[in-house]
């Protein structure tokens, strides 16, 4: 199970690095576009355009900050020891799917198996936290039996 967790961690790391790269590039492009914009004789049109560019910069800045926070959260998992209870860094095998509590990276595939990288702050992540092998969890009207925690 440790080998699978390492591969999932690496996929989550690649996912978050790509998000950081994308957000950084978009932020640089938005800033460059804002700096290149010159004031025209149509003042109101310029101000509206400038405000839209600033909103784009702000949005990309938030995306970048969120991605960087996810990266810090992911790196914090490296030092978390094994536990029989579900917590950050746990691989949770249920009768409805396999969940890796780390960051919200969605569906990941390893060796033909599907895993779901979820945040412990997500609704299903919160429901799983603290549970152990044999426990049952209900989420969105579905019951999950925890078969294994690693």
Is the same domain home to 71 and 95?
Answer: no
| CA torsion angle 41 44 48 49 (round to 10) | -10
Domain boundary among 30, 58, 79: 79
Is the same domain home to 72 and 138?
Answer: no
For residue 144, the SS3 value is strand
Is the same domain home to 103 and 144?
Answer: yes
Is the same domain home to 68 and 16?
Answer: yes
Is the same domain home to 33 and 63?
Answer: yes
Domain boundary among 44, 79, 114: 79
Is the same domain home to 99 and 57?
Answer: no
Determine the structural domain holding residue 134 and report its residue range.
91-149
Residue 84 is assigned to a structural domain of this protein: no
For residue 109, give the H/E element and its range: strand 106-110
Asked if 26 and 60 touch (Cβ cutoff 8 Å), the reply is yes
Residue 142 is assigned to a structural domain of this protein: yes
**pLDDT at residue 41 in the model:** 47
* Residues 33-38, mean pLDDT to the nearest whole number: 68
> Could you read off the pLDDT of 108-131 as tens digits, one per residue?
999 999 999 999 999 999 999 999
Is the same domain home to 61 and 98?
Answer: no
Question: Would you state the structure tokens that stand for residue 56, as one six-digit string?
Answer: 């784009």
- Beta-strand pair 97-101/113-118: parallel
Residue 43 is assigned to a structural domain of this protein: yes
* Residues 40-69, mean pLDDT to the nearest whole number: 78
Is the same domain home to 71 and 96?
Answer: no
Q: What is the DSSP string of 12-64?
A: HHHHHHHHHHHHHHHHHHHHHHHHH----S-HHHHHHHHHHHHHHHHHHHHHH
Number of structural domains the chain divides into: 2
Q: How far is CA 9 from CA 16, 18, 68, in A?
A: 11, 14, 16
**pLDDT at residue 47 in the model:** 67
C-alpha to C-alpha distance for 130 and 81, rounded to whole angstroms:
15
Res 68 pLDDT > 70: yes
* Residues 87-106, mean pLDDT to the nearest whole number: 95
Domain boundary among 23, 48, 79: 79
**Which one, of 87, 125, 150, 115, lies nearest residue 12 by Cα?**
115
Asked if 52 and 78 touch (Cβ cutoff 8 Å), the reply is no
Is the same domain home to 17 and 65?
Answer: yes
């Amino acid at each position: 199970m440790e080998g699978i967790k390492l591969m999932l961690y690496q996929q989550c790391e690649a996912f978050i690095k790509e998000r950081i790269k994308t957000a950084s590039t978009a932020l640089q492009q938005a800033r460059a576009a804002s700096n290149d914009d010159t004031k025209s004789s149509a003042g109101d049109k310029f101000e509206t355009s400038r405000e839209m560019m600033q909103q784009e910069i702000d949005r990309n800045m938030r995306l970048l900050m969120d991605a960087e926070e996810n990266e810090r959260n992911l790196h914090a998992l490296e030092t978390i020891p094994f536990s029989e209870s579900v917590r950050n860094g746990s691989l949770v095998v249920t009768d409805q799917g396999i969940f890796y509590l780390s960051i919200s990276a969605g569906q990941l595939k390893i060796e033909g198996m599907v895993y779901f990288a979820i945040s412990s702050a997500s609704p299903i992540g919160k429901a799983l936290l603290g549970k152990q092998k044999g426990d049952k969890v209900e989420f969105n009207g579905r019951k999950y039996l925890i078969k294994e925690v690693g």
